[in-house]
Amino acid sequence: MNRFYEISPAQQCERLQQLAQKALCHWQLDARSIELIKYRENAVFEVVTTAGVRYALRMHRPGYHSDTALRSELQWMEALNNVGVLVPEVIPTAAGELLITEALDSIPEPRQIDLFAWIEGEQLGSVEHGLGDNAAQISALYFAIGETAGRLHNQSGDWQLPEGFERHAWDCDGLVGEQPFWGRFWELELLTVEQKALIIEVREKIRLRLQQLDKSSQNYSLIHADFVPENLMADGAGVRLLDFDDAGFGWHMFELATALYFIIEEECYDIAKQALFDGYRQQRNLSEADQGLLELFLTARGFTYLGWIRSRQETKTAQELAPELIRMACQQAKRFLSQS
């Protein structure tokens, strides 16, 4: 019996590194080194070839996305790059494939794997360390996020989807339906009786509001769905957007709410919000009615994180983040209720 999930994360990474080495044959690459960058749900490795060329190899967690959905993600990234929205360059295999599946006896499931050109640069920020008190720096950061989001929505609103394109949806069903994309958040076992009652009440109000919202290309299309400072990299070409794992169809205001969610309680929140909207308006229209939906989508965003906890309760990350994510989601739900 394979005991992969009973061994330590470090031991798991050793096996995943061996799988990464095996996978590189699809790109006909010889690696001088393969170093782990991140191992949370996906595993990401820095690959340096014997010729000194660097790549980022991404190994997907099993069971989250289908092959079709992942190829669709990579197709969209290529299309974004083609119109000047800077994202990591996808590297096809020697056979021209964007995605491969590879297996190793010491790992229980085959893993989906893709490869990207390496990005030199620096992350624009980190939510974990807060915004600080440099108003000019905060304003510039969120202006850049807004501009990038606007360019992305311009592309996705006009883009003719390739045949067979498949991604999940952050729509009414995906956010607050009977089977939301990240799970039935109101059934999270860690919630108190009072918290659960609050969330059930607010969920119904959000559902009724979302059912009435238009889903035209002016306000709904493919979105990145994880616009946080950690996913923006400044390099010589400009600001490059990373990590499309959560990308799917959704309302544009849900995108902007995601960018703001984790800084709601920061002193410079209003500065960041204004800069985000100003940057976005450099690229496309953002009406007063759109902005009026922010609290709705902040609340829906908070609920998705409760679903994320519930579907990953066995992981150390979810266990550590659960108390704060629950507190924030309930606080935002109360704020939304008071304004409804």
pLDDT at 175 over 70: yes
The pLDDT mean for the chain works out to: 93
One-letter amino acid of 119: I
C-beta separation of 55 from 113 below 8 A? no
Tokens of 90: 């996808």
C-beta separation of 178 from 310 below 8 A? no
Cα–chain-centroid distance for residue 118?
A: 19
Distances (CA, A) of 12 to 5, 59, 67, 102: 8, 13, 23, 16
Query: What is the mean predicted confidence (pLDDT) over 106-116?
Result: 95
pLDDT band (50, 70, 90) for residue 317: confident
> According to the model, what pLDDT value does residue 6 have?
84
Task: Say how many C-beta atoms besides its own lie within 10 A of residue 216's C-beta.
Answer: 9
Q: How far apart are CA 66 and CA 51, in angstroms?
A: 33
Nearest to residue 253, comparing CAs of 224, 211, 280, 291? 291
In this predicted structure, which of 129-133, 136-140, 145-149, 269-273 has the lowest mean pLDDT? 129-133
Question: If DSSP codes are grouped into helix, strand and coil, which group holds residue 272?
Answer: helix
pLDDT band (50, 70, 90) for residue 210: very high
Query: What is the mean predicted confidence (pLDDT) over 177-202?
Result: 97
> According to the model, what pLDDT value does residue 131 have?
63
Tokens of 63: 């069971």
Nearest to residue 175, comparing CAs of 248, 68, 76? 248
Q: How far apart are CA 32 and CA 184, in angstroms?
A: 45
CA atoms within 13 A on the CB side of 282: 15
**Where do we find the tokens 């400044």?**
234
Q: How far apart are CA 221 and CA 215, in angstroms?
A: 8
Domains and CATH numbers, the chain: 4-118 (3.30.200.20), 123-339 (3.90.1200.10)
Q: How far apart are CA 269 and CA 107, in angstroms?
A: 44
Task: Using CB atoms within 10 Å of the CB of residue 161, give its burial: 0 to 12 exposed, 13 to 18 middle, 19+ buried.
Answer: middle
Over its C-alpha atoms, the chain yields an Rg (Å, rounded) of: 20
> According to the model, what pLDDT value does residue 1 have?
45
